[in-house]
Amino acid sequence: MKEILRDLLRDALHRCYEEGTLVSGEIPPEIVVEVPANAEHGDFATNLAMVLARKEKTSPRKVAEALVGALRCREDVFRQVEIAGPGFINFFLTNRFWCGVLEEIARKGAGYGHQTFGAGKRVQVEFVSANPTGPLHIGHGRGAATGDALASLLKACGYEVEREYYINDAGNQMRTLGRSIWLRCQELDGRAVAFPEDCYQGGYIRDLAREIWGREREILLTLSEEEAIDRLAQWGGKKILAGIAADLKDFGVEFDCWYSERTLFERDAVRKNLDYLVEKGLAYRQDDALWFASTRFGDDKDRVMSRSNGVTTYFASDVAYHRDKFERGFDLVIDVWGADHHGYIPRMKAVVAALGRSRDDLQVILVQLVNLLRGGQQVAMSTRSGEFVTLREVMDEVGKDACRYYFLCRRSDSKLDFDLELAKEQSSNNPVYYIQYAHARICSIKGKAMAEGIRMPETADVDFTALDLPEELALIKHLARFPETVAAAGRAFEPHRLAAYLLELAGQFHAYYNQHRIIGEKRNICEARLYLLNAVQTVISGALAILGISAPERM
């Protein structure tokens, strides 16, 4: 829609220059067309005349007059074109033209609003990637919802998308896991053990110990302590990861690839990558350690990849891992991280630059902490003490949809208060039900219409002149903005914009519903309204689908 206007304006501009009504010859690369906040300022407006005025050395209004004079005003499109304020050109479109949006929605169905700017590009979204040393907690849930919705959003923008979970199964946290289970096993045999602070304190360790000790006590006792711990680490990690996968699946998140850090070592990829970097002159040896020269790529200090004791750092794995991502052919790589890791961004961007890629080929999405409340009271959480609320518990208590909505309705990079009582409340306090309710209402109306023998209208049969109420046009105009909302959200990597969009759409629908009836009106009106409702339903369910939230037919 905006694109059409841009073309018309560009066309008019050329004509002005040909006819000499404008003289500068300036063609702005991007003509700004916007939807004014105030409906009195038209359906669309452009500031083109104001932008050109200085170059033309005349007043914006004069420029606007020349432009409007040269516009090919198609009568089926424009109801009115006016010059207003300091020099805006306001466009008013005909109702019939707006109704074309409904036809488009009917034609495209669930694909309405989807974009093509990502076509031909492969993008990988890596998210959650929690260490397999304990169950997912509420903070991971936010990362999961954000990464998953972002992936769906990018798919809707035309990208080929893969979801990936990076398993940190190579560091010494796995050993700590094994040791934690081992110690709990000792306790089961009645030995008093001092359980160290740096071990995992959560009750789930005891559960794991009970399970494995009941099954493998004899085998484990034949092993040396080192071997036993190693075996328990491997088993425990697998077990916990399976639990994580199950939690995520129930949360509506499924990964295309579970990528194990350990496989990097098994293929010797970390070591080979270090050699590669040295060879390329991107890494150097100093004080018996191997450093990555990240300052050459904008970082504020160089980073150790291999310590003087010969052990590689976590960063070294990350470099190898990200190099591998690009070697797998992704055009764009997105990492979703907890905001406390933001200090890592410069060095990872440096890595990307050092590998000869554009820094923008890696995008890092930061997800802020979740502040868990219950009835306004803060719920204490600390992973170290093992006192935390798991994603599973929250999901069971408030439901998947409400949970995902809460995580997705704000910018990911702002702290989030998550009140369990509020989220659970199925009332107006809770926007997700407000949106779903709009969808359910439409289904209900359609069901009733069906029961009364009213047929669902086909595009060709719809009398679009019957849709002339301000509330109807407002709805249609908002539906028309869905594609650009998807595009803007996708370009900014901000799925929360869809949540805001949905809230607005649901609000407009509820207002319309309360004010006007569908069934019982004259046939042409009834059918036209049903046609409109179909479009609203299509967009609501489509947008909810991107967010991974269900669109119930009944509530």
Shortest distance, position 224 Cβ to RNA, whole Å: 24
* Two tokens, residue 84: 């207003």
Return the DSSP state at 33: E
Q: Decide if residue 131 touches RNA (CB under 7 A).
A: yes
Which segment (154-162, 233-241, 313-321, 384-392) binds RNA by CB under 7 A? 313-321
Binding-site member from 1, 8, 9, 42 for RNA (CB under 7 A): 42
Which segment (8-16, 35-43, 204-212, 459-467) binds RNA by CB under 7 A? 35-43
Across 366-398, b (16+ Cβ under 10 Å) vs e yields bbbebebbeeeeebebeeeeeebbbbbebbeeb
How many residues bind RNA, per CB under 7 A? Answer: 94
Q: Give phi and psi for 328, each to the nearest 5.
A: -80, 0
The closest of 395, 420, 404, 394 to 544, measured between CA atoms, is 404
Binding-site member from 73, 109, 314, 468 for RNA (CB under 7 A): 314
Burial class (CB in 10 A: 0-12, 13-18, 19+), 529: buried
Q: Give phi and psi for 372, each to the nearest 5.
A: -85, 130
Closer to RNA by Cβ: residue 50 or 185: 50
Tell me the pairing of strands 416-419 and 370-374: parallel
In angstroms, rounded to a whole number, what is the distance separating the alpha carbons of residues 77 and 477? Answer: 14
Q: What part of residues 463-522 is at the interface with RNA (CB under 7 A)?
A: 481, 484, 488, 491-492, 494, 496-497, 500, 503, 507, 510-511, 513-520
Q: Decide if residue 52 touches RNA (CB under 7 A).
A: no
Q: What part of residues 198-217 is at the interface with RNA (CB under 7 A)?
A: none
Which segment (46-54, 202-210, 214-222, 247-255) binds RNA by CB under 7 A? 46-54
Binding-site member from 40, 197, 279, 360 for RNA (CB under 7 A): 40
Closer to RNA by Cβ: residue 26 or 300: 300
In angstroms, rounded to a whole number, what is the distance separating the alpha carbons of residues 412 and 369? Answer: 9
The closest of 192, 168, 175, 167 to 236, measured between CA atoms, is 175
For tokens 């119930």, what's the residue?
552
Beta bridge partners, 257, equal 164
Binding-site member from 72, 238, 272, 342 for RNA (CB under 7 A): 342
Shortest distance, position 459 Cβ to RNA, whole Å: 21
Closer to RNA by Cβ: residue 215 or 285: 285
Q: Decide if residue 47 touches RNA (CB under 7 A).
A: yes
Q: What part of residues 414-473 is at the interface with RNA (CB under 7 A)?
A: 414-417, 426-429, 431, 433-434, 437, 440-441, 443-445, 447-448
In angstroms, rounded to a whole number, what is the distance separating the alpha carbons of residues 69 and 58? Answer: 16
Which segment (219-227, 233-241, 305-313, 353-361) binds RNA by CB under 7 A? 305-313
Q: Decide if residue 311 touches RNA (CB under 7 A).
A: yes
Binding-site member from 198, 266, 288, 458 for RNA (CB under 7 A): 288
Closer to RNA by Cβ: residue 77 or 519: 519
In angstroms, rounded to a whole number, what is the distance separating the alpha carbons of residues 244 and 353? Answer: 33
Q: What part of residues 78-107 is at the interface with RNA (CB under 7 A)?
A: 84-88, 90
Q: Decide if residue 3 touches RNA (CB under 7 A).
A: no
Closer to RNA by Cβ: residue 330 or 512: 512
Q: What part of residues 396-415 is at the interface with RNA (CB under 7 A)?
A: 409-411, 413-415
**CA dist list (Å): 525 to 106, 379, 536:** 18, 53, 16
Q: Which residues contact 475 (CB under 8 A, 6 or more apart)?
A: 505, 508, 509, 512, 532, 536
Closer to RNA by Cβ: residue 220 or 549: 549
Q: What part of residues 172-201 is at the interface with RNA (CB under 7 A)?
A: 172-173
Neighbours of 445 (CB within 10 A): 18
